[in-house]
Structure 1
Amino acid sequence: MKSYYRVMLGKKSIFAETCFNEGFIGADFEINQDLSNDLPENWRDFNAKFRNIYLSNHPGKTNVGAGLACGFLWTVSKGIKIGDTVLCPDGYGAYHVGLVTGNYQYVPGSILPHRRSVRWENKRIQREQMSDALKNSTGSIGTLSNISSYAAEIESLIAGEYKSPITSTDPNIEDPSEFALEKHLEDFLVKNWKQTDLGKEFDIYEEDGELVGQQYQSDTGPMDILAIKKDKSQLLVVELKKGRASDAVVGQVLRYMGYVKQELAEESQTVRGVIIALEDDTRIRRALAMTPDISFYRYEVSFKLIKNA
């Protein structure tokens, strides 16, 4: 099945023009060795080997930062398949569209030495044409984000048809309209995090001043929010229900928590989870009665009209 990715070509797209001219995407992360014989099918196996190498090259970095870097490097080098589509920002409000045409290659001594060949299409997508939900996903922090859930919208934009259907390809999504609403609310929650009850105890995870805790990638998908307690003693996984079946969202949070505990948490850190939903949900409450490490929050949406004339 074809996948779609947003790939940054250097910080703030600094290498975008070179990549467009020479026909490739790539990554660096200062892992200075050929990975041709070190790209297992499993992302976790790659992280297990290269996380310590990354940490030795970057003293002071955390397991969270190392997991992020190694995960992105594996995805660019191996996870993206030939035939997948990449959208790469040019730094001026447009995204170039490319088709991945080659397997991994290492070009030492060059920018973004871990590379994949790409055939760039004669097509650019303007950011202003995208739905707000797709804008949020393509604008997420980090080298790469999987935007396959917006395949229908992306294909319509490539074809020159502007439409932003409220759909989802995830079979666990019960309510596409709730999914679309909560994609907006995720961005709102991040921007207003410090004013929430959670924000009084936790900070959204940052690395080098960048907010990497939104849509933090794991080996079972991206977490909505990864936060850390202000005293650094606990990591928190936050998921909006996004129209998913109750059993699916509880199971997903547990999988994310397992990943964080096994791959990211320091020895002294504990891990908790939070589920946020629009309405009270008896099925979630029943499930969480047996999982005391996950809390349930309900949000309210309100607005008012103010007459100006």
Structure 2
Amino acid sequence: MKEWCRQNIGEAPQFDVKTTSQQLRRAFTRMGWVTEETETQVLILHPGTPKTALQAIENEDFDLEDQDTPDSDRETVFELEWQLRDFIAHNIESQRLDGKSLRLYVDSQGDGIEYPTGVGRIDILALDSDDTFVVYELKRGRVADKAIGQISRYMGWVQKNLAGGRTVKGVIVAKVISQHLRHAIVVVPNVSLFEYQVAFTLNQIQEADGPSTVEA
């Protein structure tokens, strides 16, 4: 989304490196754009976009990375990748990789979220307690082995431009890791696989006892 805004300054709202995806969506709405959520993506539609165009978009399968997820699999997932990204980024210091704590990488380009590179944007770029770079690639559903090529591209860029000889590790996070990816990872060093789980708990609240009183 931010990349499109950079390329279309005249039509896009103003933002900076700290602007979140949610803030950008609200800004587009204030400008009269229409926001629609499908099962796989958020659509930001130019004012006046016909409903028929929206229906055509919804019928397309744009999310090729999720092609291993069957239509019948309706388990609870983060329906949008930015939700998964923001959750991990906001809780990065509670995460552990190979037993080491993590923190977001911060420099003049940003805070490690949607970190810009010459080969695309890294979902999350972090450092561990030994200052080893950690590249996160996030997928909301089931992920195929093609994710290896994507994260390797980002890791290679970090190795060449930021690491200064230090090790670069990769983390792929998805709802379900496919068997193809489990096999591919055997010969790919420094890349770890994680599956996330979403759980909600409801705690019943009892009604108040008797009439309330007001203290002076």
TM-score range for the pair, normalised by the shorter chain length: 0.5 to 0.7
What amino acid is the match of 1:220?
Answer: V
- Give the structure 2 partner of residue 86 of structure 1: 12
Give the 4+ runs in structure 1 shifted more than 4 A: 89-94, 129-133, 160-163, 165-168, 175-179
Unaligned runs of 5+ in 1: 8-79, 98-122, 134-148
CA contact 2:142–2:178 (8 Å) conserved in 1:
no
Distance 2:125 2:180 in 1: 24
Counterpart of 1:300 (choices 183, 197, 213) is 197
- Give the structure 1 partner of residue 182 of structure 2: 285
SS at match of 1:305: coil
- Give the structure 1 partner of residue 161 of structure 2: 263
Instruction: Kindly state the Cα deviation for residue 190 of structure 1 after the two structures are TM-superposed.
Output: 1.0
- Give the structure 2 partner of residue 124 of structure 1: 31
Distance 1:191 1:85 in 2: 30
Distance 2:3 2:189 in 1: 36
CA contact 1:132–1:184 (8 Å) conserved in 2:
no
TM-score, normalised by the number of residues in structure 1: 0.48
**Would you say 1:172 and 2:59 are equivalent positions?**
no
- Give the structure 2 partner of residue 196 of structure 1: 95
CA contact 1:204–1:211 (8 Å) conserved in 2:
no
Change (3 A) 1:286 1:155: same
- Give the structure 1 partner of residue 211 of structure 2: none
Distance 2:200 2:83 in 1: 15
Residues matched between the structures, number: 185
What amino acid is the match of 1:194?
Answer: E
Instruction: Kindly state the Cα deviation for residue 249 of structure 1 after the two structures are TM-superposed.
Output: 1.1
Between Structure 1 and Structure 2, the one with more helix by share is 1
Change (3 A) 1:222 1:84: farther
1:80-229 mapped onto 2 (5 Å cutoff): 80=7, 85-89=11-15, 95=27, 124-125=31-32, 150=42, 153-155=43-45, 158-159=47-48, 169-174=62-67, 175=69, 180-198=79-97, 200-207=100-107, 212-229=111-128
CA contact 1:4–1:86 (8 Å) conserved in 2:
no
Change (3 A) 1:301 1:279: same
CA contact 1:173–1:179 (8 Å) conserved in 2:
no
Instruction: Kindly state the Cα deviation for residue 242 of structure 1 after the two structures are TM-superposed.
Output: 3.0
Distance 1:87 1:251 in 2: 33
1:37-52 mapped onto 2 (5 Å cutoff): none
SS at match of 2:137: strand
Across the aligned residues of Structure 1 and Structure 2, the Cα RMSD in angstroms comes to 4.1
Distance 1:130 1:294 in 2: 36
Distance 1:262 1:252 in 2: 16
Instruction: Kindly state the Cα deviation for residue 84 of structure 1 after the two structures are TM-superposed.
Output: 8.4
